[in-house]
Every structure is written in structure tokens, then in C-alpha cells.
Amino acid sequence: MTPLPVAAFERETPEVARYLIGCLLISRVGGIATGGPIVETEAYGKDDPASHAYRGLTRRNATMFGPPGHAYVYRSYGVHWCLNAVTGPIGTGEAVLIRAIEPVFGIETMIARRGRDRLRDLCSGPGKLCSALGIDGGLDGVPLSSDLLTIYPHADNGSGVVSSVRIGISAARDRLWRFTARGSPYVSRTPSREVPVSVR
């Protein structure tokens, strides 16, 4: 199975966020495969006051300005790790936050890492999925085609994807830059207002 090519991360960031729904995210941290299909993403794109990159390059967000197709891993609220896929050409600070996956591979390992045994509690949030997959700051900047962290394409990509407003931000609340797999019980929160997404 071939990982997503870098070209897949070079389109407009919201388009990448939509496209990633259904793609397979696999971690092999610790030599154990964990992961599953992506069911929730958010775009942090151009001229976006909600983005870490909005006020320019800093030490934390430097990876966002690097090459597309790499992982941007940052610490949230001092305790959680969050995983992004860097998008756009070098020099632009854009990324897609991977917010939730459907837990499929390495369930026992993910249960142990999370300290929770209900399937829906394993990967239903950006901090949760990093915990379940063993992702931490040491993976910041690694290619998403690497042995440690890989995103694979999925045949059914595109169907059943809906958009809604992003979660946990205070700026640019009107942008429909959150994407979820319609009806998935593994998202962080059920979207209040779902808007259909056109598939090209």
C-alpha cells in the first residue's frame, strides 16, 4: 500500500481537509501499528485569524511554514499533543488538524495508552488520538509517508463528507472548515449544523 503523495497536501487547505476524511492514519510508534480511518479534520488556512500561523512564524509553529506532507505536532493546554498535516508550499503557514479517527488497528494498545476501554473514547479528539497513537512532540516535522507515521489513501474518499464550523476557536467562527464523516460515532462532537460538501 502506497502512502498519500506529497501532491495531495499541495492543494487549498480546506480541500485537503475534506480529502483526508476516509484516509487511513497509521502510527507505528513503539513498533506497534495503531490507527484507523480519519473521520474529523479542520483546516487552518490562508488569512485565518484562528490559525497558529496568523501572526507569523514562531518557534512553536515553525513546522507549519515548512514543506507540505509533514506532521506538525504541538502541545495544547500544556498537556495534550495535537497532530496536523502541513499543507501548501514552503513559506506558507497552513495545516490540517486531524481531530478524530475511527479506532481500528491496535485497539488493545490504544486502550492501554488511553486508560479508557470504550471504543468511542479512544480517538474522538485531537489530544485523545495522539495519546492513543503514541504521538508526541518528537514526531513534529516527520513526513506523513514515514515508517513512524503514515497516511494512506482510501477508495471511498469523498462520499458522505459534511462541513461545519470549527471547534474551540474564538475567531473566524463562520468558516465551514471542519469536516466530518457523516454519521460517524467516532467524531469529537456531533456537528450542530451540517453543510453538504461538493465532491469533485
Partner DNA sequence: AGGATGATTCTCT
Partner DNA sequence: GAGAATCATCCTT
Query: For binding to DNA (CB under 7 A), which residues are involved?
Result: 42, 44, 50-53, 55-56, 58-61, 64, 72, 75-80, 82, 84, 95, 97, 99, 114, 116, 121, 125-129, 166-170, 188, 192
Query: Rounded to an integer, what distance in angstroms lies between the CA atom of residue 88 and that of residue 76?
Result: 23
Q: How far is the CB of 161 from DNA (least distance, A)?
A: 19
Concatenated DSSP letters of 133-169:
HT--GGGTT-BTBSSSEEEE--TTTTTTEEEE--SS-
Q: How far is the CB of 67 from DNA (least distance, A)?
A: 16
Residue number, 3 or 40, with CB nearest to DNA: 40
Q: How far is the CB of 123 from DNA (least distance, A)?
A: 9
What residue has cell string 497552513? 94
Residue number, 104 or 111, with CB nearest to DNA: 111
Query: Rounded to an integer, what distance in angstroms lies between the CA atom of residue 179 and that of residue 188?
Result: 12
Residue number, 10 or 136, with CB nearest to DNA: 136
Query: Rounded to an integer, what distance in angstroms lies between the CA atom of residue 52 and that of residue 49?
Result: 8
Residue number, 29 or 64, with CB nearest to DNA: 64
Residue number, 79 or 155, with CB nearest to DNA: 79
As a dihedral over the C-alpha atoms of residue 59, residue 61, residue 62, residue 68, rounded to 10 degrees, the angle is: 170
Per this entry, what is the length of the chain? 200
Q: How far is the CB of 30 from DNA (least distance, A)?
A: 20
Residue number, 32 or 167, with CB nearest to DNA: 167
Interior CA angle at 16 toward 120 and 100, to 5°?
A: 10
Query: Rounded to an integer, what distance in angstroms lies between the CA atom of residue 148 and that of residue 167?
Result: 28
Q: How far is the CB of 52 from DNA (least distance, A)?
A: 4
Q: How far is the CB of 143 from DNA (least distance, A)?
A: 18
Count CA atoms closer than 13 A to 141's CA, side-chain side: 9
